[in-house]
Amino acid sequence: MANTPWQVFNAGAPNKWAAHYRDYFFYLSSRDANIFRPLDEVELLIERLEKLLPLATGEHVRPRAFYYDDKHGHFFAFVDYLVPRGLKASRTPEQFNSELRDGVAMEGRHSGPALGLCTFWDVRIKEAAPESDHFDIDHARYYSGKNVGDFTSGTTRGSTIGDLDHDWEPMRYHDQWNIERP
């Protein structure tokens, strides 16, 4: 068997999976199909996220889930932007959207079926306490409660990053780009 950076496990339903890819943990789900898109398409989405690096000290961008709407042919990517408690985020929605390109068809390193698929980016700031002995960038609380239903049904947690970018004004920055506390 070839060495692969992927491990994928069923998450209790034919269209839901938990995945490990490199140092990331996230969920995969699809609307109707019992199969997911080719994993190299998810790799392309993660490459987009990684273009946002480096961030300010103590900040992290973590994918939490990828939902594929197989009926309409697009992805929803759920991402948490962890910012240390008491600090302002070093990135704006505009900066995120310049790399992620919310709602724009994917371009990739190949000419496969991923080209032409749109991705909608649900990015949320989450207040983090990196100094805490309980802190982990992939703590279970980031995958529990209301977020699990959102991840597995493709329902965004509010506006996508493109909507926030379009509506963003410096005076309303923290009203639109809300910090969620644990």
Residue ranges per domain, the chain?
A: 38-180
For residue 149, the 8-state DSSP code is H
Q: Could you count the other beta carbons within 10 Å of the beta carbon of residue 151?
A: 24
**C-alpha torsion angle, residues 77, 27, 81, 78 (rounded to 10):** 20
Predicted confidence (pLDDT) at residue 18 exceeds the cutoff of 50: yes
Q: Please report how the helices 93-100 and 39-50 are oriented relative to each other, as an axis angle in degrees rounded to 10.
A: 140
Average pLDDT of the chain to the nearest whole number = 82
pLDDT digits (tens, 9 = 90+) for 66-120: 999 988 888 999 999 999 988 888 998 889 999 898 988 876 555 455 556 789 9
Predicted confidence (pLDDT) at residue 167 exceeds the cutoff of 60: no
Nearest to 61 by CA among 27, 96, 88: 96
For residue 63, the Cα-to-chain-centroid distance in whole angstroms is 4
- Give pTM, 2 decimals: 0.85
Pairing of strands 118-128, 179-180: parallel
pLDDT bracket for residue 174 (50, 70, 90) = very low
Under a CB-based contact definition with an 8 Å cutoff, are residues 106 and 118 in contact?
yes
State mean pLDDT over 30-37: 86
Predicted confidence (pLDDT) at residue 48 exceeds the cutoff of 70: yes
Under a CB-based contact definition with an 8 Å cutoff, are residues 58 and 86 in contact?
no
For residue 106, the 8-state DSSP code is P
Length of the chain: 182
Lowest mean pLDDT among 147-151, 155-159, 170-174: 170-174
